[in-house]
Chains A and B, each alone.
Chain A
């Protein structure tokens, strides 16, 4: 298939259909509405169903129903809508139901505004709902990745029988870039555990209730074991100029695009700057950070929130290296110039401390 120029939000839906998604239930919200609109247009063409729910609470519960019956399902929303879905996400994680949720983030708290922030990190990556569960979180930084990671999200959701969140900012959702879609489509498959209305699946029970304390503890431990396997097998990150980097820039989504441009410019000035971009936010690419810390002198986290990714970077480094932080919020984006100036200052700082060490 040839490349086509397409909007990030639309690329998600095309990729979802090709990945076997046959149910989409959603509620409009800026800047994610195009996903719902594209789903309304594309799903009926492949025999899938689309419903505009009366609320995000309804949408996520419609997913619960259709996923239970064994259909690959998806929804999309942003900030306040994701907050409303947390109850259902917790129930789906508890009942071990696969689904894909796209979160095209906006600014908060409360109504905030419709411009982009990355402040959904805590509620998505740490699990905004109740109970001992995690969601797997993928963070695309290009329209091509919107397509690729959507396909991966469906795979992971089925493999781990768990909700997977595709989280990016409004910029990646709204921008247009050339995308290449996979040549072959994945056909819908009926999982063994589904409640499919057949004689074979009569004994299947989908539930998150365990009234006996020991049974619930065993269930939670089993979920943890699943997340541990995901930690070992599914962690993904992109490294750029990392072989000899003194200064490591860390960011995801649109910020990562800025960091790549800044790193290239800093390199041209002779500064040894690299970029470490987490692609999976859960499981977090801790090993990539540990490896980088062996050589790098300082890490700089750049984030469109008040320090949410920052916490995971600090946990991953565990005090091994200093972590500096550059933050913009409210819908403001860190400019190329301000990031570069910040990097230059840190690089000078590193160089000076090196000279002191040599004396």
Chain B
């Protein structure tokens, strides 16, 4: 009698659909980012249980609830340190970190710099809407000068942070920018970011339709220009990437700014982890090693 063996069914978009429906406002840019992440996971065929999505606090930080992977909803601004801990414990997991501009560049700004410096192998997607949405519309670290918000009633007087330039300066090994309305392009960037071994940063323009009346979908659409459309652009050239990173106004570049693959990620550089993740190891120490260690201490 013949035996029929079925191979595993390929993963589809529906397999990554979360058990909770997003509570974002209708028209929010974050819907496009969620779909782009799911699409990238389908293309890469990564099983749900091998992915962990980690976030901080904010509208976009509700993301882990809306996607069918392992998820962690952590403290405001602290998603990257938590993700670093996950990666130290089990570096075979695909780690996605999601959040907003306030979470990542404001309260989490310190961690943003250090996670990149360490080249932790994860993909950090910031849904950048240049406003605090969850607390109903205060200025953010990426709000433009002059922008009127509930906490800048006379117009913002502070200059914004430059996320792409900051990431380049801090040593991120993959740096890109996407636009929520161009899902196909964004999903391609996310896919490359996940495939990249090391810290991948993607700043995504994800307009807030409720509280940011300045930087809307309509505002971005004619301005965004893909770096991929310029055949002369070399994403291996750090200085060229820096130059592009500060462009803002009539032309705003999106796409892959920079990638380098010659540096080891944190788990590759850490000698203790060369035999595999900590989680898979026996929970006892070889008695001979233990004895030698105790003798050394005494």
Contacts and interface: CB of A to CB of B under 8 A. Distances in A.
Size range of the interface on A?
10 to 19
Contacts of B135: 28-30, 33
A55 B134 CA distance: 15
Interface string B99-140: 000000011010000000000000000000000101110110
Interface in B128-163: 132, 134-136, 138-139, 141, 150-154
B96 interface: no
B76 interface: yes
B107 A55 contact: yes
A244 interface: no
Contacts of B154: 44
A54 B106 contact: yes
Nearest to B156: A52
A343 interface: no
Interface string A173-202: 000000000000000000000000000000
Nearest to A52: B151
Nearest to B138: A28
Interface in A22-53: 27-30, 33, 36-37, 40-41, 44, 50, 52
A37 B150 contact: yes
A41 B153 CA distance: 6
Contact of B151 (A40, A56, A80): A40
Contact of B138 (A36, A55, A57, A111): A36
Contacts of B17: none
Contact of B136 (A33, A44, A111): A33
B151 A111 contact: no
Given A28-B151, A52-B151, A80-B75, A37 B138 contact: yes
A240 B153 CA distance: 43
B73 interface: yes
Contacts of A57: 107
Contacts of B73: 111
A40 B150 contact: yes
B57 interface: yes
A57 B78 CA distance: 13
A13 B88 CA distance: 46
A353 B101 CA distance: 63
A41 B134 CA distance: 20
Contacts of B106: 54-55
Given A28-B151, A111-B75, 11 more contacts: A28-B138, A33-B136, A33-B138, A36-B151, A37-B138, A50-B151, A52-B152, A54-B109, A55-B77, A55-B107, A111-B57
Interface of B: 57, 73, 75-77, 106-107, 109, 132, 134-136, 138-139, 141, 150-154
